[in-house]
Amino acid sequence: MNIKRFIIWTAAAAAAMSLPLAAQAADDSWYLGFDAGQAHYSGLEGQVAPFGGINHVSDSDTGYRFTGGYQFNKYWGAEVAYVDFGQGEEDVTVTTPAAGTFSGKKQIHGFVFAGTGTYPFNDSWSGFLRLGGIMGHVQNKATGTGSLVGSAGTQTSTDWKVTWGVGVNWKLTDNWVVRGGWDQYSSLGNQSKTGENDVNLVSVGVVYHF
C-alpha cells in the first residue's frame, strides 16, 4: 500500500468525520458563565413608615451570578446558577412622637434552576428567554435606638419563588459568548418574617461553551 496515499485518505476521512461533530458541539454543549451588574430592590421604601422623621433608602447594589448549563440544541437549554444581589439598606430617623433611629440591611442570595429558549438572529447574534425558580435566602438585620429600639433583630427566610429574564448573546468564537440581560426575581422573602421584595438584575457577562 502506498503509505503517502494512506495518510492522505486517513486525514481526509478524519476531517470529514469531524465536521458533524463540530456542528454538534456548536449547538449541543455544556457551558459555564459569569454575569455582573446592578441589582435593584423594589419596595424597600415604606416598609418602615415613621409618624414623623427622615427616611433614607439605598435600594441598589452590585449583583453577580455564576452559571452552569447545558445547551440541548440551538434553541433549548437548562441551567443552574448561584446569584447574589448584594444588599439594600434603609435608615430612619424619627422625630415625633419620640426620637429614635432605625437602620436595616436586607441581603438576598440563592440558587436558580431555569430553562432557556434561544432564537438565533444570525451567525453572531441571538436573543434568549429564561424561566425558572429561585430558592432565595433573605436576611434582614436591624438595629434601633430610642423609640425604635424594639425594631432591632435578625429575621431570615428561605423560599422558592419565580424568576424570568430576557437578553441577547453575541458570539465571539465557537466557544466564547458575551451576553447582556435583565432578570426579575419575584416576591423574594416571606411576608410574615422578612417581607417580600422583587429584585431586578441588569447584567453583562461571558459564557464559555465546552
Report whether pLDDT(145) > 90. Answer: no
Q: Which among 153, 209, 201, 210 is positioned nearest to 35, based on CA atoms?
A: 201
Residue 79, amino acid: E
Q: What is the mean pLDDT of residues 91-104?
A: 76
Q: What is the mean pLDDT of residues 147-158?
A: 82
The H or E element spanning position 122 is none
Sign of CA dihedral 153, 157, 162, 167: positive
pLDDT value, residue 4: 45
pLDDT value, residue 142: 82
The pLDDT-based confidence of 54 (bands split at 50, 70, 90) is low
Report whether pLDDT(163) > 90. Answer: yes
Q: Which DSSP letter does residue 121 get? A: S
DSSP string across 23-44: HHHHHSEEEEEEEEEEEEETT-
In the numeric block, the cell 441589582 is attached to 39
Cβ distance 152 to 142 under 8 Å?
A: yes
Q: Which among 110, 94, 111 is positioned nearest to 102, based on CA atoms?
A: 94
Q: What is the mean pLDDT of residues 65-93?
A: 94
The H or E element spanning position 201 is strand 197-209
| Percent of the chain whose pLDDT exceeds 70 | 81
The pLDDT-based confidence of 46 (bands split at 50, 70, 90) is low
Kindly list the structural domains of the chain, giving each domain's residue range(s) and its CATH number in brackets, ordered by start: 29-209 (2.40.160.20)
Residue 120, amino acid: P
Give the integer Cα–Cα distance in Å for 36 and 21. Answer: 33
Q: What is the mean pLDDT of residues 51-68?
A: 84
b/e code 70-89 from CB counts within 10 Å (16+ = b): ebeeeeebebebebbbbbbb
Give the integer Cα–Cα distance in Å for 83 and 90. Answer: 22
pLDDT value, residue 12: 47
| Percent of the chain whose pLDDT exceeds 90 | 61
The H or E element spanning position 4 is helix 3-27
